[in-house]
Structure 1
């Protein structure tokens, strides 16, 4: 196994184009102290929140972490989520020239609510 892993270090970095659905993943953490009186759902008191590229954006980050030179191609909406997603990718050194902004389209957003290590 060590020999196999060592052989990867001699490989040239791959150039990869990722075409797909780009979305923004938001992780919101906090505490639950009570259940809503209107419905049996927990009330989350938000402590912090952070964003990560999701969907094809997650694939792009994983390929970059493996040493590939990555170009992202896809579509985002003309909204704050699309701008945030592109900024996160650019911060990681990902080429975003192939990500197109389209008016009237919403960038997909997945918000994961987490309390005490559990997703709600």
Structure 2
């Protein structure tokens, strides 16, 4: 059975860094990849998606004009929870430190789904 992996992203920088991973994972027949765009930064992310020919499977379109972060978080948590219950991924992958990353990870935690943080920390240069 194919492993179900969901990649969640919402900002331009997340998209730029995750596109190579999206391309790579799509090559494996033993992986069922789902991509989820939150569009936290709609105005800048579309140009990246067009440039790299990435069409997310789901676009949560969470942003509204002058939306406070608390409203964004509540809206995203609700939509992510619904999507995770529908897709039932084996793991979600996120990148960075945006509200999208935090809330998608929280929703996954609440649904007992492991989270892979692609950029999981700074280099220690073997000093630890």
TM-score > 0.5, shorter chain as reference: no
Query: Relative contact order (alpha carbons < 8 A, sep ≥ 6): 1 or 2 greater?
Result: 1
Larger radius of gyration: 1
Q: TM-score, normalised by structure 2?
A: 0.33
Higher helix share: 2
Higher strand share: 1
Q: TM-score, normalised by structure 1?
A: 0.35
